[in-house]
């Protein structure tokens, strides 16, 4: 029922599982099982049993689509080599009714508060007359600054590429010690050079099969294909 769904969403946003259980007692057995069970599915994103457990409750097409979307997000996180830092909490819910997909909270070591949060909210722009998908987040700068090192490392290389190949190339160069700023959009070289100069990066790069295409951040720079290891040796001082 719509009223029950609204009540469950509000209880989840307040992290009130007692209220969730009270609502579930008023529901038919099949629905009550999911209302009680889904918010208690929490664990490391690398643990495949978490998604398998969630799959037990994905009985409709909308639920199955949401679960597949979550799997796709996890694949991108794995490409970033960031999956090990992620906890899945299927009881996490946005406080606003315009959220339409995954929501997230970011934490930093040594701080008991979120440093960022956000999610997918396709319904928000609809209120302003635009049918557009949207993802956004808020960063709490004071909290973030309290845990950042005093001297942040400047990017040495800007890597351009919006697909998984770009994510993997950026992660590979970072593992080799290259300070990389990854732009997850497909900019042409001229725009990439302009952007690299704006952040004082000396190199630009694009992913390629088995390596990267590398050039200096100069309009006259010519791209050369290199393995990640050769690229790291070239750009590092």
pTM, entire model: 0.72
pLDDT digits (tens, 9 = 90+) for 82-101: 999 999 999 888 777 778 88
Model confidence at 206, pLDDT cuts 50, 70, 90, reads very high
Output the pLDDT for position 4: 80
Which residues contact residue 16 at a Cβ distance below 8 angstroms, ignoring those fewer than 6 apart?
Answer: none
Backbone phi and psi for residue 105, each to the nearest 5 degrees, phi listed first: -130, 140
In whole angstroms, what separates CA 5 from the centre of its chain? 26
Residue-range domains of the chain with CATH:
1-40 (no CATH), 157-235 (3.40.50.800)
């Amino acid at each position: 029922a719509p009223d029950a769904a609204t009540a469950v969403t509000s209880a989840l946003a307040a992290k009130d599982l007692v209220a969730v259980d009270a609502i579930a007692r008023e529901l038919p057995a099949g629905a009550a099982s999911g209302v009680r069970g889904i918010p208690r599915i929490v664990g490391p994103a690398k643990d495949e049993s978490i998604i398998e457990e969630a799959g037990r409750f994905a009985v409709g097409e909308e639920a199955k689509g949401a679960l597949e979307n979550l799997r796709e997000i996890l694949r991108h996180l794995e490409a970033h080599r960031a999956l090990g830092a992620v906890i899945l909490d299927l009881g996490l819910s946005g406080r606003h009714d315009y959220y339409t997909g995954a929501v997230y909270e970011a934490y930093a070591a040594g701080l008991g508060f979120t440093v960022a949060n956000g999610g997918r909210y396709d319904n928000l722009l609809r209120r302003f007359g635009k049918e557009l998908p949207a993802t956004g987040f808020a960063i709490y700068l004071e909290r973030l600054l309290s845990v950042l090192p005093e001297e942040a490392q400047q990017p040495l290389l800007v890597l351009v590429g919006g697909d998984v190949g770009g994510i993997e190339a950026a992660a590979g160069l970072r593992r080799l010690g290259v300070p990389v700023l990854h732009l997850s959009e497909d900019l042409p070289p001229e725009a990439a050079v302009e952007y690299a100069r704006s952040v004082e990066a000396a190199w630009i790069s694009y992913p390629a099969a088995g390596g990267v295409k590398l050039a200096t951040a100069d309009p006259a720079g010519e791209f050369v294909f290199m393995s990640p290891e050769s690229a790291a040796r070239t750009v590092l001082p």
